[in-house]
Amino acid sequence: MNDGSTSGELADSLRTLVSRLSPGDRLPSSRELIKEYRVGPATVARAIAALAAEGAVVTRPGSGTYVAQRARRGGGPGSGAPGDGDAIGAADTSWQTVALTDRVVDTHLIDDPLGPPPAGAITMDGGYVHRSLQPTRALSAALARAARRPDAWDRAPAGGLTALRTVFARIVGGSVAPEDVLVTAGGQSALSIAFRAIAGPGSAVLVESPTYPRALAAARAAGLRPVPVPLDADGLRPDMLADAFAMTGARLLYCQPTFQNPTGAVLSPERRRQILDVARASGAFVIEDDFARHLGHGRGPVPRPLVADDGDGTVVHVTSLTKPAAPSLRIGALVARGPVMERMRAVRLVDDFFVTRPLQEAALEVLSSPSWERHVRALGAALRERCAVLASAIAREAPGATLSGLPPGGLPTGGLHLWVRLPPGVDDTVLTSAARQRGVAVSAGSRYFATEPPAAHLRIGFAATADHAELTEGARRLGAALGDLGPGRM
């Protein structure tokens, strides 16, 4: 075969070769075919593509071309005409292992290794409020009205509806303006956008220790390297933060100053100033995750966001309506000033253009209604009661387990969880599994650390259960699971 041979002639020759081989056998490489048949690379590529389209061969990038499994033929064995009833075997995707080696999306911290809780289990591992605590009627009515608007299905602005951005700016306070707000599809989307927009792959990002596992997952998916910084009852430690910036050269800090997840700690006023001063001195951004802005327990005013007192664009603020409202109200916001906002707008435009308009309209209507403030107050009172009930039940049913991350004897003043330190020698993952066997789901504390945890903890939620009785029963089952372990089994 000379240089003028067509890809069709080469394809015929290869069909003959394939007929003599077995499924899974490897064809000669492109280089070998070029040499043997004296053709160019383009001719080989077209011939292989033709056979692949027929289903005679499969190509595996980086590996080669292989004879496909024999398909049943409608015209009888060897007729060459595919039949209507041809069966396609299971795809061999092993080649993807090589093709995907340069990027990993690590979800081990957010995927529950035990799977979903068994039927009838008491759910104390979730991050959302029970349906009885959600403003479902207001949400349903708002969404129905939003869907009836004449422009309901028109394209929304990439940055979000101006009226909704205005409401978010008002909630944040300070000198934040609507143009400083970018509406997102919930808080997790906002975190993903911020991490990818601010820092390049391989960079360090400082995080509280412990911290929110889904933030760790989002940072790692962006190619970042989380570096833990300890916190105490007053929140993130500024002295440790300054050392971490100096040692790592990081230009990004992720933190939750208000009702921190999982500890419930609130960053003290003095430390709020210090954290911003340290970040400015390091030329770094601060991602402020303000997920719990509407989850205060009514024991006093919720502290102002860091971004409200930020005059030079250090803070990138993240907020969301999902936690205080309902899991499917996937509406959040990013607040920032300067070039970083333009970068985040660009990332969101590439990702998904805009958040669906009816959901934005519904969120706007809910936030603008007087019933929203009533809901937030009622929710706070309910959470305060549940928090006290659970804390009392754990003290009674699980001796040796103590509240952690707060001043001695204190309870969280906001949020949805208790952070509980386990007795010495107890393995949190073993206890979590034992608790499942007893019919209660809790979260192993090791998931909340970027590196090895200093002690064993559980995060136990009080918002997703149906009522106080279920909270008490859940604590009883957890105590029984702790007793099941016994000496030498922990």
Average pLDDT of every residue of the chain:
89
- Please list the residues that pair with 403 across neighbouring strands: 420
Q: Which two tokens stand for residue 373?
A: 């403030």
Portion of the chain with pLDDT greater than 90, in percent: 71
Domain with CATH 3.40.640.10 in the chain: 136-370
Domain with CATH 1.10.10.10 in the chain: 7-99
Q: Which two tokens stand for residue 245?
A: 């910036």
Q: Which two tokens stand for residue 116?
A: 């979903």
Q: Which amino acid is at 421?
A: R
H/E stretch holding 66: strand 64-67
Homologous superfamily (CATH) of 122-131+372-485 is Aspartate Aminotransferase, domain 1 (3.90.1150.10)
State which CATH number among 3.30.70.1350, 2.120.10.30, 3.90.25.10, 3.40.640.10 fits the domain covering 136-370: 3.40.640.10
Instruction: State the DSSP code for 131.
Output: G
* pLDDT range class, residue 99, cuts 50, 70, 90: confident
Instruction: State the DSSP code for 73.
Output: B
Q: Write down the residue that tokens 């899974």 correspond to.
A: 24
Cα-based torsion angle of the residue sequence 53, 55, 56, 58 in order, rounded to the nearest 10 degrees: 80
E strands present in 197-353? 204-209, 225-232, 235-236, 252-255, 285-289, 315-320, 332-335
Nearest-angstrom CA–CA distance, 479 and 490: 14
Nearest to 65 by CA among 27, 20, 9: 27
CATH of domain 7-99: 1.10.10.10
Nearest-angstrom CA–CA distance, 118 and 130: 18
* pLDDT range class, residue 79, cuts 50, 70, 90: very low
Mean pLDDT over residues 33-44, rounded? 87
Predicted TM-score (pTM) of this structure: 0.80
* pLDDT range class, residue 108, cuts 50, 70, 90: low
Nearest-angstrom CA–CA distance, 457 and 384: 22
Q: Which two tokens stand for residue 256?
A: 């939750």
468-485 vs 428-437: helix crossing angle, rounded to 10: 120
H/E stretch holding 421: strand 417-421
For residue 482, is pLDDT > 70?
yes
